A and B are shown apart, each in its own frame.
Chain A
């Protein structure tokens, strides 16, 4: 399981990084979303992958680590905010510059 999980993280990261290196804003935003998934899953996995152990007192015998979960929960919300911000930034850039190249250059 861990091996497949790790490979998945790698694929997610690689896809995200590739997109972030593109020259137009929208793929960059998508790339950031993918990298965010990868990072959140990575952080989450630092508490190890456990089954049937939701950290709710009294609901199971053994609990998963709640700390990475709490960290990742806020990270998800913050990355949503970041995506929103970057999207609006790219809209503004299109309006100001007339194109959506990350360096603000037209063809």
Chain B
């Protein structure tokens, strides 16, 4: 539980600062520090439970079927990383309070920072690797927000986008890799994965999985060739760089390698990929760092180089190298964070980060200068500081490994060269920023620079103090922490090692001395010719390649979008149909035999005549579609044939429904036609018609094939259940109606809701428009003066009571015989429409003051309430009940709650159909009476 709090507190706390945004600089900072501090103390309190590689885990099931659980784990390795995240995080919170000016959105900044902190903690504390991946993605997103915090600047927007593209691209690869890993290991829980190392490395998918996972780690940790996003991320505010780009985010990739080390390392693939990538990055980063003019750019490349060093250590084939890797992770986090902070102070106080303009700052800010000098020396690996210890270990390991056979010497030599360069750029940093007396500080944007407030220096003070303490007394300070973490990362016993300062005069020390001396020589002796050479090099920036690729991608997508999404419904429709054809066609491709084993029923003349008429009418609709009234007539004949077909094939309910719907639809179509053009112009080209014809024939053919293939095959139905239970459980013998109002009542409730929504939508859509009405009728004849023919009027009045009686009859018998709420509702609708047509809207409305909107609403409420009543009896929603009553004279009457439900259906159907029709009719002639 306490473990979960470590992640949850910063996560929940991240909403606080943004809410306190108005409270000046202090309040958001305090609000951010409190959850982080509590989490920090919880973390420390758990330390005592982590002896001997023990792990604390908690687990809540989440999406079990996917293997995704909310399970957390803390062991030595997670503890170390969480300690860095929270410890440096707290210092950065303090630092940022002084770094940011009060005009900036400080609350937002701290919220992002806490979100990022929570995500990082999630990454290092996840037991479930899928969960870890979720947090991993959140770190990418929140770092995007942080890098782009100064969103008014184009370089920070670009830097943020680049970082997001690279790291989330790597995240995708990692997702694939993790899925493979889980597949191979049989579980997504780390405790399971870490013990299945031998099975994992022997699996045929192992190389693929390894490359994918390493892609994720390398992009995050800025390894060559994905390193270029890191220098551009320096557009972020310096506290962000100090946090993300020294101690946390870029270490996520390192953490991943350390974490999965027992499971996926130990193979040749691992050693070669990891060590060579690390070696390249190490050399490239340190060389590039030397030539940077921007203070933060120098630190960024230096970070790349140190990350390469750690990666290289993980790639070496000795156990000890992993210990060194973790040790260097700790040291790098301390000295690099303090260096970034010092760089931020310089930027803040002088207004520039350009090394060519800085110089001689020691006189103005001796305290800051001292901090930066000590941290830089630690970075360079000068004795008595922590950087020296891990560098000695590193150099020692490069001599121990045996990866490259005859070319084994390459690794120690390149490492020494890289260290030499590290010394050179560290000296350059110290000299050009603080000690160079030749520079003229009065040309600085802010002159004279002075020391920042005490509390702004405090975080760097603490970190530098740590550098010195660790450097002097490694065993007493970090010894146990390192052992704790390294033991977990190795997944086995620790090798013998000692953290002492002095190991005697040995080869690593000689390499160190060469590097230190060479670095000094390089800077003071060969700086100028080297810079001249560098400036003459072609300006081949990875950024330009990236930007070029991005722009090309954007152009491609724009082109694609324009081609596909051109705003034409016809185009979309055609594309969708092509998709349907492809998908269904390819699925049917496997069908070996079209005709199934079931024999066809014999053809009888009447049915075939009906089918032929149906075909003929539907083709006629197409042929006559330009003359719309004729097309409506043909389509209604088709509808009629469909309802006859239902009647023919044992579906009386469907036949009745189709018939009444057909009547209402036809009236609606004619009514709508009144407001629309009566003819369709001929405008499609022959080519377009040919394409559409092909598509149509394709779709039709596919449907035919599918229908034929299905109809000639045997099938199993679940219908027997309904047939058996209909009478006994629901008290109705019309099974279709029983299914609608009882067994599947919930579906029906949804359907009538849709119906009512359509009615309301029609109402809303017609609101406020007055359609233009043609002066003359079809064929150019003037409108008939007598709008309501007498014969029709009289007939309609006679018919209305009869039709209503029929609908009541149909409704009542629905449970037992064909009929029911849907059909009765449609019959009532048809009868009322007839009144509107015959006598006009005003006349009918005056005599039949029904509010159809309310009617539809009541219908749904009634149906819903019937369902709710079941709750009163402790039954599930929509459970029905029925009973038989014997009333004298009338006889045996059955009362079923389903009948009430059906009444709701009835009301909704009548309400929404008439809402549509009557409203459409009335919108035609707002001041006069009905139109049709």
A, B: real partners: yes
List A residues at the B interface (Cβ < 8 Å): 1-27, 29-30, 33-34, 37-38, 40-42, 44-59, 63-67, 69-70, 72-74, 76-78, 80-85, 87-92, 94-96, 100, 102-103, 107
The distance in angstroms between the C-alpha atoms of A26 and B700, with both chains bound, is 21
Interface stretch of the complex, out of B476-484, B504-512, B726-734:
B726-734
A22-B625, A66-B719 are contacts. A72–B600 as well, Cβ < 8 Å? no
Q: Say whether B692 contacts A54, CB under 8 Å.
A: no
The distance in angstroms between the C-alpha atoms of A95 and B608, with both chains bound, is 44
Residues of B within 8 A of A52 (CB): 650
Q: Say whether A74 contacts B747, CB under 8 Å.
A: yes
The distance in angstroms between the C-alpha atoms of A9 and B703, with both chains bound, is 7
Residues of B within 8 A of A2 (CB): 600-601, 708, 711-712
Residues of A within 8 A of B699 (CB): 13-14, 17
Q: Say whether A66 contacts B735, CB under 8 Å.
A: yes
Q: Say whether B717 contacts A65, CB under 8 Å.
A: yes
Residues of A within 8 A of B676 (CB): 25-26, 90-91, 94, 100
Residues in B703-745 with C-beta less than 8 Å from chain A: 703-708, 710-712, 715, 717-719, 722-723, 726-727, 733-736, 739-740, 744
Select which of B573, B652, B736, B748 is within 8 A of A21 by beta carbon: B573
| 0/1 string, B656-697, CB within 8 A of A gives 1 | 011001001100110011011100110110000000110111
Beyond A10-B703, A24-B677, A77-B909, 10 extra complex contacts between A and B, CB < 8 Å: A9-B703, A19-B621, A23-B684, A30-B625, A41-B645, A48-B711, A54-B651, A66-B719, A74-B748, A81-B912
The distance in angstroms between the C-alpha atoms of A80 and B770, with both chains bound, is 24
Select which of B604, B615, B719 is within 8 A of A7 by beta carbon: B615
Q: Say whether A57 contacts B622, CB under 8 Å.
A: no
Residue of A nearest to B689 (CB): A18
Q: Say whether B722 contacts A67, CB under 8 Å.
A: yes
Q: Say whether A33 contacts B650, CB under 8 Å.
A: no
Residues in B806-861 with C-beta less than 8 Å from chain A: 816-818, 822, 826
Q: Say whether B710 contacts A46, CB under 8 Å.
A: yes
Q: Say whether A1 contacts B600, CB under 8 Å.
A: yes
Select which of A8, A14, A55 is within 8 A of B614 by beta carbon: A8
Residues of B within 8 A of A47 (CB): 717, 719
The distance in angstroms between the C-alpha atoms of A22 and B665, with both chains bound, is 21
- CB of A16, distance to nearest CB on chain B (Å): 7
Decide if B537 is an interface residue (CB 8 Å cutoff).
no
Residues of A within 8 A of B696 (CB): 13-15, 17-18, 21
Residues of A within 8 A of B913 (CB): 80, 84
The distance in angstroms between the C-alpha atoms of A49 and B638, with both chains bound, is 19
Residues of B within 8 A of A73 (CB): 653-654, 657, 736, 740, 822
Question: 8 nearest interchain CB pairs?
Answer: A14-B700, A10-B704, A18-B696, A57-B733, A6-B708, A10-B700, A64-B650, A70-B739
The distance in angstroms between the C-alpha atoms of A18 and B708, with both chains bound, is 22
Residues of A within 8 A of B744 (CB): 70
Residues of A within 8 A of B614 (CB): 8, 11-12
The distance in angstroms between the C-alpha atoms of A70 and B726, with both chains bound, is 13
Decide if B628 is an interface residue (CB 8 Å cutoff).
yes
Residues of A within 8 A of B751 (CB): 74, 77-78
Q: Say whether B735 contacts A55, CB under 8 Å.
A: yes
Q: Say whether A4 contacts B608, CB under 8 Å.
A: yes
The distance in angstroms between the C-alpha atoms of A59 and B712, with both chains bound, is 27
- CB of B707, distance to nearest CB on chain A (Å): 4
- CB of A44, distance to nearest CB on chain B (Å): 7
The distance in angstroms between the C-alpha atoms of A65 and B751, with both chains bound, is 21
A9-B707, A49-B711 are contacts. A18–B622 as well, Cβ < 8 Å? yes
